Amino acid sequence: MTTSTQPILQTRDLSISFGSVDALVSVDFNLRAGEIHALLGENGAGKSTLIKLVTGVYAKDSGQILLDGKEINPRNPREAQLLGISPVYQEINLIPTLSVAENIYLGSQPMRFGLVNTAAMNKQAEALLNRYNIDIDVNRTLSSYSVAIQQLVAIARGVDMSAKVLILDEPTASLDRHEVETLFNVMRQLKADGVGIILITHFLDQVYEISDRITVLRNGFKVGEYNTDELPRVKLISEMLGHELTQTLGKQATSETAKPKNQEAYIRVDGLGRKGYLEPIDLTVNEGEIVGLAGLLGSGRTETALLIFGIEGHDQGTIYVDGQAVHLRSPSQAIQEGFALCPEDRKTEGIVGELTVRENVILALQAKRGWFDFIPIKRQQELADEMIEALHIATPDAEKPAGQLSGGNQQKLILARWLASEPKFLILDEPTRGIDVGAHAEIINIIKRLSNDGMSLLVISSELAEVVDYSDRVIVLRDHKKVAELKGDEVTENRIMQVIAEEPNV
């Protein structure tokens, strides 16, 4: 273990921020030659940002990137690749209509008399793939092969361009068990060849199966660096989700008694699911109740929200509103039932950046009222001003394009849009992600206030301290399945983490 502690790729005090959001703060990352190093963290933790910095997609604000002890400043992915840092992304960056061999040697084809020497190229490609025990016809187009093979071809291409560092971003997301095994064999061989491999994945089983060491990031900070076999699963999860936040956020003990018990569930979801997307799930949300939805990234939290809101279709189960079965096949139907969903990705799914703050506020309400029941401009202005004041949206006026607001204010604006539509049931997907501390606290207060006013809320969050703070009940998901429902005294961070960490095959 101690023979090669000199890292092959290293970052020192690496920082970058986008606008007011610090995406990466003073991160020291150490990758050794001949190791598989898992880079873990929830969405927005800074994994992708770190990768984009070392591969030259982003330019750092401060800090150093060292390769073999020498500082490097790649200005674009091509420069990084020439230095020996090869990323293989989830969406494969190859050309599906070219042959396997052409893909591997694109840009560096063996030439003869100024023409591509196809025979030699095919031979080399075959030899290269044979080293990894991949026996395929390199003359066929890439798209005729499975995603797994395409991924391996991408890796082969990356390694052939003399990679010292190979970065695999969610390589197993769309592979079956057998294909994962093939990939792991290739990874082990590359490791033996002395390549340093960074693995990003949200499959913790695979992390424990293949990785030597783990670095955990959270909210742009490095939480720690561990040897995989010395880090228990529960500890890992608590590091990823931010255990120590408990001390900073006090739990409100009083809120529980204030609410009436034993009411008829306002929202009842009965066996809602879709094959291959989400296992049938049961859940209820009472009037004025906040139900938390916890679980790791990829556990099915967002999927649950999308199924309930009608964005994704379900093939089984029923949703009851106040005891009445409803059939929701689109968001507009869900909205008519008084549902609302603040989506996770506010840039693409939430804000209409070109429209003004006012127009964004009234959008859902207007969609609900239809084409001809136009909200008079004066009423629009009143609504927008009310919301700006109530949610403390920082904007000079309601006519500013929404795209120019900061992340936290955009999040509040989407919330405002839904509050303007006067929902009875509000689903929030990661309402506090990527926003500054002040806005964070405000949004949590708003969530509590809404529930006190009688609104039913389903809140998805990776911040366990936060979930524990406001939730009356917590539903825990793992592997696209509901695994536990915690209430009363059970609603603690430790209990949630224990449930998440339980071996899946029990």
Partner 1 sequence: MSEMTQPAERGFSLQSLTRNRAFWPIFALLLILLGNRLIAPDFFNIEVVEGRIFGSLIVILIRGAPVVLLSIGMTLVIATKGIDLSVGAVIAISGAVAAVLVSTTDINPILAILISIGVGALCGLWNGILVAYFNIQPIVATLILMVSGRGIAQLITNGQIAIFNDETLAFVGTGVIAGIQFPIYICIAVFVIVMLLVRRTAIGLLIESVGANDRASYYAGIKAAQIKLFAYVASGICAALAGLILTADIKGADANNAGLWLELDAILAVVIGGTSLDGGRFFLGLSVIGALIIQSVETGILQSGLPPTFNLVVKAIVILIVLLLQSDVVRRWISNSVNRLRGQMRGQTA
Positions in the binding site for partner 1 (CB under 8 A)? 311, 330-332, 334-335, 341, 343, 348-355, 359, 363-364, 366-375, 417, 421
Cα–Cα distance measured from residue 366 to residue 352, given in angstroms and rounded to the nearest whole number: 14
State in angstroms the smallest separation of the CB of 304 from partner 1: 16
Cα–Cα distance measured from residue 441 to residue 472, given in angstroms and rounded to the nearest whole number: 18
| DSSP secondary structure letter of residue 265 | P
Contact between 295 and 486 under an 8 Å Cβ cutoff? The reply is no
State in angstroms the smallest separation of the CB of 443 from partner 1: 19
Q: What kind and span of H or E run contains 296?
A: none
Among the listed residues 276, 336, 328, the one whose alpha carbon sits nearest the alpha carbon of residue 305: 328
Would you say 103 or 366 has its CB closer to partner 1?
366
Would you say 341 or 460 has its CB closer to partner 1?
341
State in angstroms the smallest separation of the CB of 372 from partner 1: 5
The three-state DSSP-derived secondary structure of 383-451 is HHHHHHHHCCCCCCCCCCEHHHCCHHHHHHHHHHHHHHCCCCEEEEECCCCCCCHHHHHHHHHHHHHHH
Would you say 120 or 367 has its CB closer to partner 1?
367
Would you say 113 or 372 has its CB closer to partner 1?
372
State in angstroms the smallest separation of the CB of 488 from partner 1: 34
Q: What angle do CA 246, 249, 253 make, to 5 degrees?
A: 95
State in angstroms the smallest separation of the CB of 468 from partner 1: 28
Beta strand 290-294 with 339-342 is unpaired
Tell me the H-state helices in 194-300: 204-210, 233-241, 255-258
State in angstroms the smallest separation of the CB of 375 from partner 1: 7
| DSSP secondary structure letter of residue 461 | -
Would you say 18 or 374 has its CB closer to partner 1?
374
Cα–Cα distance measured from residue 336 to residue 76, given in angstroms and rounded to the nearest whole number: 48
> Which amino acid is residue 52, in one-letter code?
K
Would you say 169 or 344 has its CB closer to partner 1?
344
State in angstroms the smallest separation of the CB of 349 from partner 1: 5
Would you say 298 or 343 has its CB closer to partner 1?
343
State in angstroms the smallest separation of the CB of 338 from partner 1: 12
Among the listed residues 92, 90, 104, the one whose alpha carbon sits nearest the alpha carbon of residue 171: 90
Would you say 48 or 380 has its CB closer to partner 1?
380
* Phi-psi group of 300: left, alpha or beta (phi > 0 → left; psi -120 to 50 → alpha; rest → beta): left
